[in-house]
Structure 1
Amino acid sequence: MQVKLRGPPLSWAITLCCASAYLLYGYDEGVVGGLVSQPSFLDALGNPGSGYLGTIIALYDVGCMIGCVTAAIVGFKVGRRYVIFGGCMVMIVGAAIQTSTHGAGQFIAGRIICGIGNGLNTSTIPVYVSETTRSNRRGSMVAVQLAIVIFGLVVAYWVDYGTVHSLSGEIVWRFPIAFQIVFAVVTGAIILLLPESPRFLYNQGEIHKSAEILSQLMDVPIDDASVIFIQAEMEAAVRVEKEQPFRWKRFFEKSDVKTSRRLVICFMLQMFQQFTGIHVTAVYATVILTDNVGLSLETSSLVAGFIQLAFFVGTLPPIFMIDRYGRRRLLLIGAIAMAICMSIFTAAIAVPTVATGRLALAMLILYELWFGATWNCTPWIIAPEITPLHLRHVGGAICAFSEWLWTFVIVLITPAAIRNTGWRIYILFCIMCVVAFVFVWFFLPETAGKTLEEIDYIFATGEAKDRLERQFLDAQEETLDNDAKEIAVNVEGKTA
């Protein structure tokens, strides 16, 4: 059974469902970070050392990587909805195992299983949203999802903070971990009521079903010119992709549709996103405030909560700017702004005084705002946009895989890096912000306002570009012919 919504109400239903999944993503990523110092939690894990505890937390990212690879393998066969549904069910199992933990081994198993479910979701949801949204609203819809991820982090932090300061015993940590099941149940229940991606269905040969869903999404008749035009674009893209099929063994070979280049961009953007230093400032905010800025543990815990709120506030402007000003411009501005903030922050903590401590805190907040407004959501938007239809699930998986790979690396090395190098570790993030600017400037085209099929045309060269251009022109002529026929019929009817 599927809902009978059409047009904007259906688009918002899709957005809210995916928002619940992303709230789960943010909450699940942040919930354990606020519990790692609780005695009852550590007792349940057998009081592991700091290194072992860091590994336990980081293994979640390994599960996410496994989920991404799984999505890349099965996504083309089962569809976007069923991958998301499966991800939610896996996360429910993982959360239940963690909630009932009575040892480190059980908790590790639950973390990895939860990570697999989250990897399935984070690989697929941006693709599903992009393929079911109009081109002029595609960026803002994905930006809404990523804003909700950060809201999930905020919710997780304050739930942890509230239980720690108002409850006692094992419920302090069992309740926050179990609470994520609510979001998984909501998402899993709603996703099956929503339509499948029309582009996935078209590529599977279900052309009429694809047209029905397109008409439902745009709230127009199935024979409307806009539906016919989009299907003609999809047909042109599919033909070119089939004529130059992608094979992993030919990854480094050149082709006229630049498939390998597009997948590399998906991977690199997420790598640069993590090496701007965001995971350090978001996950280890309390450590930074105590070890680098010089605040007390109690004050650091409270201030870290407000830094998370600042991060969330920064994610709101892209909802309104990303489609108006474009992806490329936001990434370029954000890279420079973050490089400046991180450089001043690094200089301030290198010379510790009361004044420089306040300056460092101000720069940290500004950095979070700039990241939220630019690099937080944009790489997630670009990945499903620039990959060809038959590999869009792979592009989404590579994007998410890169996110979790570098998150794992950074989560693993950060505590030791802060302890052994102090302020010098932040120089790496300053440099990487500048390198990210250079990469975007030279290698990333603008994709805002274009249909997913038009973006194929941006990357294509040689015969593939000429063929796409001819087929798109044919599609436009066919659309105009249909419009003319419809006008003629209307005029004839009025005359009669």
Structure 2
Amino acid sequence: MYRITNIYLLAAFGTIGGALFGFDVSSMSAWIGTEQYLEYFHHPDSDLQGGITASMSAGSFAGALGAGFLSDRLGRRRALMIACVVWVIGAAIQCSTKTVAQLVAGRVVSGLAVGVTSSQVCVYLAELAPARIRGRIVGIQQWAVEWGMLIMYLICYGCGKGLAGAASFRVSWGIQGVPALVLLAALPFFPESPRWLAGQERWEEALDTLALLHARGDRNDPVVQVEFEEVQEAVRIAREAQDVTLLSLFGPKMWKRTACGLSAQVWQQLLGGNVAMYYVVYIFNMAGMSGNTTLYSSAIQYVIFLITTGIILPYVDRIGRRLLLLTGSILCMAMHFAIAGLMASRGHHVDEVDGNSNLRWEIDGAPGKGVIACSYIFVAVYGFTWAPVAWIYASEVFPLKYRAKGVGLSAAGNWIFNFALAYFVAPAFTNIQWKTYIIFGVFCTVMTVHVFFFYPETAQRSLEDIDMIFETNMKPWKTSHIPDRFGEELERHRQKSVVDPEKGADTTHDEMA
């Protein structure tokens, strides 16, 4: 069967799995302030709305926990196929919803699929991509999330304007199933992960896949041979380990990796992205906007998010993970404290905002525009830094034997905090108003310290080379300067390849090709 081998094309199709998450975010955030939604579901209070929003994250948490076992047993590609089917079922349940309970059930089912795709697409792409561009390839996953957010938001906006009553949100929720069907149709033409194949002792298939991905089918290419040797070594080491359980991820040699991967995902949530994405309409309502102005301004925020991540992806491997994470946490901390200061000093308590009794704080005029400006800046910084880099980092820190379950656990950490914050933010805006931003600002302060002292640099390292980083006692802030062992191995392999056995003389690799 024909196989797609262009890594960028694989990433473009594969990260449709990320777009599913984006679709689900906007499918809720676009409707929570509209009359169609509020009237049909009898104006849910802040607690109920928080539960509806968070239900998808609850399903994603369960899906991410099981994703590693599913992926190791069936392979990365088949795990994604199953997730696509589950997503279509969830979209159908939401599309036909008649009660809050059915809507919650549909979002939970969709969340199961998102939990698998959000963790295993990263694993899959990390195992396919060469080390020098792995960051940008895995980062496309986050970019796809943002495309999904924007596209679904615009679809919801169009449906809200063109359709009346419940049909408006039913159609938009049904459309969510389309990208999953596209991905399901494309996956049979994807290669299986060469590292998973090697783990199953399917060596010839693993070598053929590496050759197709990196050298147009040339099994003797030096790049292919070096990659294959490192995969063999990683599998050999993996065989010496005991069968992996979730508890083994916290063993003596693994806990540091697990702490890095899991905390990166948790910190991404505690940075405050949910405040900006799930409840963007609430924020802009409190800042004095209403009606179409709120919807336009919310769409602008999604566009900013999309553009900033798209700009950083080509450079994410050159800049490095640590610098981006540290810069992001510091700047986001400043934005949170700035918004809190503006709202506390220039805002005032109200009984409701634009007819929404869930909102009890309002800030008008220039200070309100300042809040909106800070929100835009926050989203831009988030798009440049933590949004893509947290997923990249979590996909890099685990060795082969532990990777699927480790990334699954990390994604589960992301989703359980996603659930908690999605549920927390709506009541928080009702009960503690501007103090919500103080909480997120403190989280940003703590994560800055944690990243600096505990996160080693992983950019432009082979996955096997990262194993060596964690086995040393080098301080994390010094790991940006260690030599790239993969590059040295590749150069040695090229040196071996330049000897022509028939001529007994050196020949360049280009001449041999």
User: Which position in structure 1 is the counterpart of 2:411?
Assistant: 400
Q: Which residue of 2 aligns with 1:81?
A: 77
Q: Identify if the C-alpha distance between structure 1 residues 357 and 106 changes in structure 2 by more than 3 Å, giving closer, same or farther.
A: closer
1:91-106 alignment to 2 at 5 Å? 91-106=87-102
Of residues 186, 189, 192, the one that matches 2:188 is 192
Which residue in the other structure is 1:330 paired with?
324
- Superposed displacement of residue 139, structure 1: 0.7
Alignment partner of 1:15 out of 1, 5, 11 = 11
1:397–1:45 CA distance, 2 compared to 1 (3 A): same
1:408 is aligned with what amino acid?
F
Q: Is the 8 A contact 2:498 2:506 kept in 1?
A: no
1:254 partner letter: P
Q: SS of 2:15's equivalent? A: helix
Give the secondary-structure state (helix, strand or coil) at the position aligned to 1:448: coil
Residue 302 of structure 1 and its aligned partner are, at CA, apart by 2.5
Structure 2 CA distance for aligned equivalents of residues 335 and 302 of structure 1: 28
Contact residue 25 and residue 278 of structure 2 kept, 8 A:
no
Q: 1:364 is matched by which residue type in structure 2?
A: S
Q: CA 1:253/1:81 → structure 2, altered by over 3 Å: closer, same or farther?
A: closer
Equivalent residue of 1:169, what SS?
coil
Q: Which residue of 1 aligns with 2:447?
A: 436
**Residue 14 of structure 1 contacts residue 194 of structure 1 at CA under 8 Å; is this kept in 2?**
yes
Q: Which of 232, 240, 249 in structure 1 is aligned with 2:237? A: 240
What does residue 138 of structure 1 align with? 134
The 2-side partners of 1:235 and 1:403 are apart by 32
User: What residue is the counterpart of 1:285 in the other structure?
Assistant: 280
Instruction: Say whether 1:364 aligns with 2:375.
Output: yes
Give the letter aligned to residue 51 of structure 1: D
Task: Verify: 1:60 aligned to 2:73, yes or no.
Answer: no
Tell me the equivalent position of 2:354. Answer: none
Q: Which residue of 2 aligns with 1:483?
A: 497
Distance in 2, matches of 1:252 and 1:491, equals 53
Matching residue of 1:342: 336
Match of 1:260 in 2: 255
Q: Work out whether residues 47 and 427 of structure 2, in 8 Å CA contact, stay in contact via their aligned partners in 1.
A: no
407-416 or 15-24, which deviates more: 15-24
Shift of 1:262: 0.9
TM-score (norm. length: structure 2): 0.87
When you count helix as a share of all residues, which structure comes out higher?
A: 1
- From 69, 85, 90, the equivalent of 2:86 is 90
- Alpha-carbon separation, structure 2, partners of 1:358 and 1:42: 27
Q: Where does structure 2 lack aligned partners over 5 or more consecutive residues?
A: 347-363, 474-482, 508-513
Distance 1:167 1:395, change over 3 A: same
Can you list the C-alpha shifts for 1:170-229, whole angstroms capped at 9, x where unaligned? 321111111111100111111111100111111111111100000000125112222221
Aligned length: 478
* SS at 1:36 equivalent: coil
The alignment partner of 2:252 has SS state of: coil
Give 1:414's aligned residue.
425
Q: CA deviation at 1:48?
A: 4.9
Matched, 1:165 2:146: no
C-alpha distance in 2 between matches for 1:103 and 1:190: 34
- Classify 1:42/1:360 alpha carbon distance in 2 versus 1 (closer, same or farther; 3 Å): closer
Residue aligning to 2:178: 182
| Matched-pair contact (CA < 8 Å) for 1:277–1:429 | yes
Q: Could you give the per-residue CA deviations for residues 458-484 of structure 1, whole angstroms, max 9, x where no partner exists?
A: 11149xxxxxx9x98997798367515
> What does 1:444-459 align with in structure 2 at a 5 Å threshold?
444-459=455-470
CA contact (8 A) 1:45 1:107 kept: no
Query: Per the alignment, in what secondary structure is the counterpart of residue 220 of structure 2?
Result: coil
Uncovered stretches (5+) of structure 1, i.e. residues with no partner: 463-468
Residue 351 of structure 2: aligned partner: none
Does 117-126 or 11-20 show the bigger shift?
11-20
TM-score w.r.t. the length of structure 1 is 0.90
Q: Which amino acid aligns with 2:324?
A: L
Deviation (angstroms), 1:314: 1.7
Q: Between 97-106 and 343-352, report the one with greater CA deviation.
A: 97-106
SS for the counterpart of 1:101 is coil
Deviation at 1:248, TM superposition (A): 4.3
